Amino acid sequence: MRDGPARRLVKRVTRLVNSFELGVRRAFLARRGQPRYRLTGTCNGCGQCCEQPGIQVERFTWHVKSARALFLWWQRVVNGFELVSVEPKWRLFSFRCTHYDPATKQCDSYDSRPHFCRDYPVNLTFDALPDFFPECSHGAVDRKAAELVKALEDAGVPAEKMEELRKKLYLKDP
């Protein structure tokens, strides 16, 4: 259901807090040379990232019952995310988004979507091994790809092995 004025306002304030917090965290990561990858491609609107959005949480939210309940309540009531499954290994909650229309592949509240949605797939460039949806037209390339390719060439890696390494190590534009 499309967001009304009250929910839009709550989400706007939350978004400002989230983007400030994320900006500070990423400023620290930038000092450590992160993200490791550069995002490539443009969105083709396939909608896969909206079909079952997943949110990985901190240990505190995962383990503390009241924090977990509050998190899930917020996702359901404010963001319209209904819990579908949990993946303990990754502390990951997967949801069904009530704003997503699978027929049109559109979001009915795109201008008030949460910060989490706006950050995808840039957030993947901070992962050790970015994993994109099969239909996603984005990709990731190691920022040091040119240096790494040169080092592999200098080491005499054969051409066919080089192609395999380029794919595995994110050394080429997809």
Binding residues for ligand SF4 restricted to 90-149, rule: CB under 6 A: 97, 99-100, 107, 110, 113, 117, 121, 133, 135-138
In angstroms, the CA 127 to CA 159 distance is: 28
**Min. distance of Cβ 151 from ligand SF4 in angstroms?**
31
Beta bridge partners of 140: 39
Q: Among residues 97 and 171, whose Cβ is nearest to ligand SF4?
A: 97
Taking residue 128's Cβ as centre, other Cβ atoms within 10 Å add up to 7
Given the structure tokens 């997809």, which residue do they identify? 174
Q: Among residues 61 and 137, whose Cβ is nearest to ligand SF4?
A: 137
Residue 28, both tokens: 């620290």
**Min. distance of Cβ 123 from ligand SF4 in angstroms?**
11
Beta bridge partners of 107: 100
Instruction: Give the contacts of 8 (CB within 8 A, at least 6 positions apart).
Output: 109, 112
Query: Is 44 a binder of ligand SF4 (CB under 6 A)?
Result: yes
Binding residues for ligand SF4 restricted to 45-74, rule: CB under 6 A: 45-50, 53
Positions that interact with ligand SF4 (CB under 6 A): 43-50, 53, 97, 99-100, 107, 110, 113, 117, 121, 133, 135-138
